[in-house]
Structures are given as C-alpha cells and as structure tokens.
Structure 1
Amino acid sequence: MKHLLILGCGWVGEELAKLYQSKGWQVWATTTQEEKCHRLKSDGIFAYVHNFDQEKELDLPLEVRFDAVVTSVPATAKNSLEDLGFRFYQVFRALSAIAYDKHYFLSSVGVYPDIDGTFDERYNEEDKLTPKLRFAEKRIQSLPETTVFRLGGLFGKQRIFAKYFQDKIVTTGDQPANFIHLDDVLGLIDGAIEQKIQNGIYNLVCPEHPLKKDVIMKSAEKYILSYPAGFEPKDSFQKVVLGEKLPLMLNYTFKYPSPLDF
C-alpha cells in the first residue's frame, strides 16, 4: 500500500486526500481545525490537529515511508519574516524526522512581481520576487527531493470569482487572469506524483488569460449572481504567468483551459 502525507490540509489538501484515498492509498493529514480533523478521521484519514506556528512535536509514524508528501502551509503577507522563519523551521523539522520519497510544496504565482511582463519558471530576478513567498520557497527547497508548485488564483466548486465582486466597484478588471480550476490542480499534482517528475519549480496556471472583468461577467451570468456596481481600472499591469512546462511534461489536457469556462 502507498502512503501520502499532507501538511496543512486546506481546501486543495482535503480534495487531494479524498482523491488518493479513492486510489487505495493510506493518507495522513494535519489541519489547524478541530472540526476538519474530525471530518477527515470520519472519512478514514489519519488526521492530526497541528499548528506549525507553535513549538509542538508532530507525532508522525516513523515506521511509515511516505511515497509522497504535499506541504500546503501558507506564507501570507500578514506574517512577519520572523514568524515565517519559525513556521517553516517547524515544517522543516517535522519532515526531517520522517522518511519520504518525494515532497511537493504548494506556493503561489503571487511570487512573481506585479508589473507588465510574461513570467515562466525561468524568471530568476530574486530581488523582484515577492520576499515572503520566496523566503518560504527557499526554506522548503532546502529539504531533499522537493518540488515547488506555484498555483494560480484558485477557483472551482463554491469558489466563484464573481461572488467576490457583487455590487462592488472593481479596480482590477483590466488585469489578465492567472487562474486555475481546482480539478486541474488535482489532475496536475496527481500526474506529477504518478510520473515522479524531476524536482524543480512549476507554474500551475490555465493556458488562457482573459481579462478579469470578462471572467467576472461570465461567471456572474453562469451562476446568476449580481454584477459589479462598476469598473474603475487601477493598477492595470499586464502580468501573464505561463504554466506550459508541467502540462507538456505530463502530456496533460486541461479540463478548464480558460477561466471563462469555470
């Protein structure tokens, strides 16, 4: 039997846990929420309540060698570098104590600068990358057999873009959408784990980049939501993040190639 560990089992992590459980894997997961821990356990997942901001041992089974570990512990703008340093030291310490074959860290395309330009995984101007996100990536990349997935804006199921702009003034409508659907995130991660891709950095983003205002209007129509009160463009930088590397490697076909399809 194969084994998967998910550290920081949020929205993506929970769906990934269900996917791999359906494939016959044994799944372990950590969450900061008691309610989610009980839900995961009721689904047959070995779940722990654990907060990596606290100095607390994570009692993972040392006799198990995990075929894959997925870390989805966030690095957010509200955290100081000192706080993030402690958080990711705790993650590093937990993973250093167990045996695993491959490790995948879920980061964000927000690491690329908010300026005009097209960005892929070869972009290496470190001084222009978002400091806190890049700090977390580098800390995690010091672990062996680690790959970083930089996810685009994530939507699907009940997470609908237009929902956040009902009756509001939209200032970002003229920006390109660097988004991805949950189903495609799961498909790409699954393919990467199954094919044991080489370590590196990969962008997970739809191949098409319509303007955000068009995505808002299309999803408002589709889900019968209120339209925005208006559009007043500000900070309309044309930032496009390309995610061709991993799909080409996996020969993957997107279920939702455009955010207009969500």
Structure 2
Amino acid sequence: MKQISILGCGWLGLPLAKAMLENGFSVNGSTTSSEKLSVLKNSGIQPFLITLSENKVDGDPYKFLENSKILIIDIPPKLRSLEQGSSSPLRRTFVEKIKNIIPYIEKSTVEKVLFISSTSVYGGSDSMVTEETIPLPNTESGRQLLQSEQLLQTNQNFKTTVLRFGGLIGEDRHPVRFLAGKKNLDNPMAPINLIHQNDCSGVILAILQQNCWGKTLNAVTPYHPSRKDYYTQKAIEKNLDLPEFKNEFNSVGKTILNGKIISVLKYTFTEPNL
C-alpha cells in the first residue's frame, strides 16, 4: 500500500483523500481545524493539525510527511480580502507559507509534489490559453500562485507537477448561486472555464497512476458556452432568479484549453457538460 500526504483536506482535499483510499493508498491528511480531526479519522485518514503561516509551520510536519513518497499541496491563497478594498498593503503571505514548508519536504521521504494551482495565473487574456501560454497574472492571488509554482518546480530535491484548475464546482458549490438575481453582469459572451469536483479527483488520480511528474497541466472541462447562456440555463434548472447580463458583445474572456490532460493522461471527463 502506497502512502500519500495531502496538505489541506478541505472542499477538494477531503473527497480527494477518500478517493485515494478507495484506490489503495493510505493517506495522511492535514487540517487547520481541530474540530475536523475526527472527520478525517472517521474517514480512514490519518489526521494532522498543520497550519502554515508567514513565519513558521505549526504542528508536526515531519510526522505528517514521514514515509510518504508523494505530497499533494492543496491550500488556497486566501488573498481575496486583500484585493477587494482592504487598507492593508498586499503581502507575500502565500509565497512565504510555501517557502516555510519546503525545508520540511526536502528533509522528508517525499520525492514528488503535486501543487494545486489555478488558471488565474494567466490573467485576463482574451484568447485561447494552453500550457505554453506565458502566465501574466493580474490579481495578487494569481501572482503568488505563480511564484509558488516556480519555487516548487525549480527545487531539485523533488519533482513537481503543477495542476492549474479552472473554476471549481460541485453538488454543494456552484457560482450560479452567487449570480442569481443580479443585474448588469459583465462579459455575457465570455466563455466559462470550469471543472467539477469529481473530475478534479479523477485527474489527480490519473497523474499518480501514470507517474506524470515535472509537468504543468491545465485542468478545465472542454465545455465553454458563454457566461450568459450557461448561467441562465443553470438558474432555470435550479429554480433560481435569472441573472441579468449587460447587452454587450465585446466581452473579454480567455478560453482555457486542456490539451495535455487529453494527450498525456488520456483522461475522459466524467462531468463533461457540468
């Protein structure tokens, strides 16, 4: 039985850990909430209370990483409040957190790291975006994710694959709930770039099964209707108030292509139409 460590058993990390267990892995999983330790344990996950800050790592990262060959880092930057009007200067909080965990990885048995990133690193490009597109992030979280990717991928002590997810949706999480009933929404004709929680776990499992390391992969379902068409239809399906978009045709929005997921992993999406 292979052991794996998952740093961050949240909305994505917990079902991912459960999927790993179902596929023959033993899992060390971390959380920042002491109340959630029992949830992890009752799911068959070895629980660890690990908190990364700008200055240190709280908990027992050595024990968390012990005997694992693979580490999955799935912690969000959580910088949105800083970007939306905070009077505090933007800080390199997320980058510093990644810097602080790296020495523990270097001293551990970990040989391979899977870093969960985001297509936000590409910024507001109005074009077709592939893994070869030069990232030009225009948000603080995008900039810090890109810097963190580079820190991990240039480290010679382990091989890192970066997985850039589009917008995450699931049974209990869908952006239409935040858009329902809102008016004068921008970019009605911009394409959506989303991926379902089930396919997130599926793609990660495929990476592990096929030993796909040292790569950068875009993970977005190949389904790109316009924002207006998609969210209007989803509001109807969920009996929500319809969102109202501006009557404009010069919408700006990138289309994320997932060529390597298809050509390298041969992955077939289980939720192709979201």
TM-score after normalising by structure 2 = 0.85
Aligned to 1:86: 96
Q: Secondary structure at the match of 1:146?
A: strand
Aligned to 1:247: 262
Amino acid at match of 1:152: G
Asked if the contact 2:126–2:253 (Cα under 8 Å) also holds between the matched residues in 1, the reply is yes
Q: Which moved more, 1:125-134 or 1:196-205?
A: 125-134
Quickly say closer, same or farther: Cα 1:126–1:204, change in 2 above 3 A.
Answer: same
Separation (CA, whole Å) in 2 of partners of 1:39 and 1:255:
27
Per-residue deviation, residues 133-178 of structure 1 (Å, max 9, x unmatched): 2112112223321000000001111112321112112224322101
Give the deviation of 1:121 after TM superposition. 0.6
Separation (CA, whole Å) in 1 of partners of 2:3 and 2:189:
44
Instruction: Give 1:1-262 correspondences, 5 Å limit.
Output: 1-53=1-53, 55=56, 56-61=58-63, 64-78=66-80, 80-124=90-134, 130-143=142-155, 144-169=158-183, 170-228=185-243, 230-232=244-246, 236-257=251-272, 261-262=273-274
Quickly say closer, same or farther: Cα 1:249–1:17, change in 2 above 3 A.
Answer: same
Amino acid at match of 1:69: L
Amino acid at match of 1:68: I
Asked if the contact 1:75–1:136 (Cα under 8 Å) also holds between the matched residues in 2, the reply is no
Separation (CA, whole Å) in 1 of partners of 2:95 and 2:168:
26
Amino acid at match of 1:70: I
Per-residue deviation, residues 70-119 of structure 1 (Å, max 9, x unmatched): 10122344464432332111221232231123210000001102031111
Separation (CA, whole Å) in 1 of partners of 2:137 and 2:43:
44
Number of aligned positions between the proteins: 258
Q: Secondary structure at the match of 2:199?
A: helix
Per-residue deviation, residues 163-209 of structure 1 (Å, max 9, x unmatched): 11121122243221011111111111111100101311100011121
Q: Secondary structure at the match of 1:175?
A: coil
Separation (CA, whole Å) in 2 of partners of 1:127 and 1:219:
29
RMSD value, Cα: 2.3
Quickly say closer, same or farther: Cα 1:233–1:6, change in 2 above 3 A.
Answer: farther
- Where does structure 1 lack aligned partners over 5 or more consecutive residues? none
Amino acid at match of 2:72: V
Give the deviation of 1:10 after TM superposition. 1.7
Separation (CA, whole Å) in 2 of partners of 1:220 and 1:125:
32
Amino acid at match of 1:162: V
- Where does structure 2 lack aligned partners over 5 or more consecutive residues? 83-89
Amino acid at match of 1:208: Y
Asked if the contact 1:161–1:219 (Cα under 8 Å) also holds between the matched residues in 2, the reply is no
Give the deviation of 1:233 after TM superposition. 6.1
Amino acid at match of 1:44: G
Quickly say closer, same or farther: Cα 1:69–1:214, change in 2 above 3 A.
Answer: same
The percentage of counterpart residues that share the same residue type is 28
Give the deviation of 1:47 after TM superposition. 1.2
Q: Secondary structure at the match of 2:52?
A: coil
Separation (CA, whole Å) in 1 of partners of 2:253 and 2:234:
21
Asked if the contact 1:183–1:255 (Cα under 8 Å) also holds between the matched residues in 2, the reply is yes
Quickly say closer, same or farther: Cα 1:125–1:39, change in 2 above 3 A.
Answer: closer
Separation (CA, whole Å) in 2 of partners of 1:246 and 1:99:
28
Separation (CA, whole Å) in 2 of partners of 1:207 and 1:180:
9
Q: Secondary structure at the match of 1:21?
A: helix
Q: Which moved more, 1:212-221 or 1:198-207?
A: 212-221
